[in-house]
């Protein structure tokens, strides 16, 4: 079966020159990419001196091997819901709860501490 060929990306510059983007991409696919990603334009991992350590195909296999595929979807038949309508019976009612507010001073035990003449807090009886 013949593959459908996509249209080539040919652009004209402001000066009237034509640029074939697909041809440029193919010519430069082994050129290292700009930045610190250490890959070329094709996606191969590069090592010292621009040598290919891992090919793009190996990188993709490793990526998809580690990630689980999406679960298969099961087709569900359309069902007329008007015939089988049942009123829901398991409704949940919210419980009202009251929170006893306590005095923050009592919670800290402030009645056990007193301030001495230097401004320090000490326990009662010390």
Give residue 21's region: left, alpha or beta (phi > 0; psi -120 to 50).
alpha
Residue 73 has a pLDDT of 72
Within a domain: 15? yes
Asked whether the whole model's pTM tops 0.85, one would answer no
Number of domains in the chain: 1
Task: Indicate whether 58 belongs to any domain.
Answer: yes
Supply the range of the domain harboring residue 15.
10-66
| pLDDT (tens place) for every residue of the chain, 126 residues total | 555 666 778 899 999 999 998 888 889 988 898 888 899 988 899 999 889 999 999 999 988 887 776 677 777 777 665 656 666 666 666 666 676 666 555 555 556 778 888 888 888 876
């Amino acid at each position: 079966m013949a593959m459908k060929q996509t249209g080539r990306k040919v652009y004209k510059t402001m000066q009237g020159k034509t640029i074939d983007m697909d041809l440029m991409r193919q010519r430069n696919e082994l050129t290292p990419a700009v930045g610190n990603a250490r890959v070329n334009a094709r996606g191969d991992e590069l090592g010292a001196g621009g040598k290919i350590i891992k090919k793009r195909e190996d990188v993709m296999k490793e990526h998809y091997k580690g990630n689980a595929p999406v679960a298969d979807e099961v087709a569900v038949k359309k069902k007329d819901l008007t015939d089988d309508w049942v009123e829901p019976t398991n409704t949940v009612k919210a419980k009202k709860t009251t929170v006893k507010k306590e005095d923050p001073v009592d919670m800290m035990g402030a009645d056990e501490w007193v301030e001495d003449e230097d401004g320090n807090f000490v326990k009662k009886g010390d």
